[in-house]
């Protein structure tokens, strides 16, 4: 098998509109509608789908739980600019800047949480 990339992930959330607003406004991710009324945001070349905890779309993960995801988003901006941007949206930085190792080498990261307490690492190389 020759794997090319991850196409999408699914976040289980308590409020789809609140999650859409957060990812769209804070990270400037375009909102997508697909399969009728399903919602997602575009994150680079990948998609983040949102499903309600009490109305999951089949097939579903074994234990779809809000707040259980840990994502790393790579940005082009320098981290001081990222930190100022996050502060302008009243997003609390829970850790960082710190040095980490990503898929392509060393990176610098800050950590925040989304409305469902998923851990979001914001990084640049």
Catalytic residue numbers read 121
**Dihedral over alpha carbons 13, 18, 34, 48 (to 10 degrees):** -60
How many C-alpha atoms does 56 have within 13 Å on its Cβ side? 13
Cα–Cα distance between 8 and 10 in angstroms, integer?
7
E strand map for 5-118: 8-13, 31-34, 38-43, 46-52, 70-74, 95-102, 105-113
Q: Which two tokens stand for residue 104?
A: 């392509």
């Amino acid at each position: 098998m020759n794997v090319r990339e991850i196409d999408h992930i699914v976040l289980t959330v308590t409020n789809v509109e609140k999650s859409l607003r957060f990812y769209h406004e804070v990270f400037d991710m375009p909102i997508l509608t697909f399969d009728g009324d399903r919602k997602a945001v575009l994150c680079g070349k990948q998609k983040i789908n949102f499903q309600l905890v009490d109305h999951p779309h089949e097939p579903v993960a074994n234990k779809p739980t809000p707040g259980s995801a840990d994502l790393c988003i790579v940005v082009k901006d320098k981290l001081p600019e990222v930190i100022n941007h996050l502060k302008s949206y009243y997003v609390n930085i829970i850790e960082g800047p710190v040095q980490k190792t990503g898929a392509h080498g060393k990176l610098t990261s800050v950590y925040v949480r989304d409305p469902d307490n998923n851990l979001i690492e914001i990084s640049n190389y």
